[in-house]
A = this chain, B = another copy of it.
């Protein structure tokens, strides 16, 4: 019974993680708004950028990113989940195919995503994203859907 509850929680956490990448893939600021906790002390570290603190700054960073990307596709591999009472942590590899200025490149990013459970809306909300480029990245043999 306990195991069932844990599995259900894992599914919910992975769902929140997928919602984040779907928002990114759809370059949708509206979906991104639904994924994050709108708080002043949430943190976002985009690969190679300075860190952003607070929803207002993080939202602006996504607008800038979405403005500069033509298309982006994600395949998430190797997700590792830890769930505590109110916090869950997902570490995963983002296998990315991105088009900028009509050039397509493949790259890998290691991500730490931390979610906080909201009792109000019964949902895991993103409070921390830390992405960093994988050196010597070799794209896995996966077809991007």
Binding site for B on A (CB under 8 A): 41, 43, 45, 47-51, 53, 80, 82, 84-87, 89, 91, 110, 112, 114, 116, 127-128, 130-135
Identify A82's interface contact among B41, B49, B131, CB under 8 A: B41
Q: Which residues of B contact A128 (CB under 8 A)?
A: 89, 91, 112
Query: A41 CA to B48 CA in the complex, in Å?
Result: 27
CB pair A49–B91 under 8 Å, yes or no, is no
CB distance from A33 to the nearest CB of B (A): 21
> Is B135 touching A45 in the complex (CB atoms < 8 A)?
no
- Nearest to A48 among chain B residues (CB) is B135
A-B contact pairs, 10 of them (CB 8 A): A41-B80, A45-B110, A48-B132, A48-B133, A51-B110, A82-B127, A84-B87, A130-B132, A131-B132, A132-B133
Contact A134 B50 (CB under 8 A): yes
Q: Which residue of B lies closest to A108 (CB)?
A: B50
User: Are A114 and B89 in touch, CB under 8 angstroms?
Assistant: yes
Q: Which chain B positions have C-beta within 8 A of A91?
A: 43, 45, 51, 128, 130
* Docked pose: A51 CA to B135 CA in angstroms: 11
Structural contact, B132 and A80, CB atoms closer than 8 A: no
Least distance between A23 CB and chain B CB atoms (Å): 21
Smallest beta-carbon distance A113→chain B, Å: 10
